[in-house]
Amino acid sequence: AGDKILEIKPDLIIHAGDLFDSVRPNNRAIKFALNQLLRISENHIPLILIAGNHETPKLSETGHIFSIFEHIENIYPIYNEYRRINLDLKGKKISIFCVPQFRDKDEFNNALNKMKSDSIKDNNKDYKILTAHVGTIGLYEFRMNEFNEQLLPIGMLKSDFDYIALGHFHRFVKIFDNAFYSGSTERFSFTEANDKKGLIEVILEDGRPLVNFKPLEIREMIDFEAIDCANKSSGEILESIKEKIAREDIKDKIIRLNLKNISSHIYRTLDFNEMRRILDGVLHFDIKTDILEEEIFNNYKSAHIDALSREFSKFLGNYSLSENVDKKKLLKIGLEYINKVEGV
Specify the pLDDT at position 124: 78
Percentage of the chain exceeding pLDDT 70: 92
pLDDT tens digits, residue range 89-141? 988 999 999 999 998 888 988 988 888 888 888 777 889 999 999 988 876 67
pTM of the model: 0.76
Specify the pLDDT at position 303: 40
Specify the pLDDT at position 304: 45
| Chain centre to alpha carbon of residue 257 | 21
3-class state of residue 30 by DSSP: helix
pLDDT < 50 positions in the chain: 295-296, 300, 302-305
pLDDT tens digits, residue range 16-62? 999 998 899 999 999 999 999 999 999 999 999 999 999 888 877 77
Instruction: Report how far residue 211's alpha carbon sits from residue 178's, in angstroms, rounded to the nearest whole number.
Output: 9
Specify the pLDDT at position 122: 76
| Strand-strand pairing, 83-89 and 92-99 | antiparallel
Specify the pLDDT at position 14: 97
Specify the pLDDT at position 307: 60
Specify the pLDDT at position 182: 94
Instruction: Report how far residue 157's alpha carbon sits from residue 159's, in angstroms, rounded to the nearest whole number.
Output: 6
Closest to 70 (Cα-Cα) out of 56, 89, 49: 49
The type of residue at 48 is: I
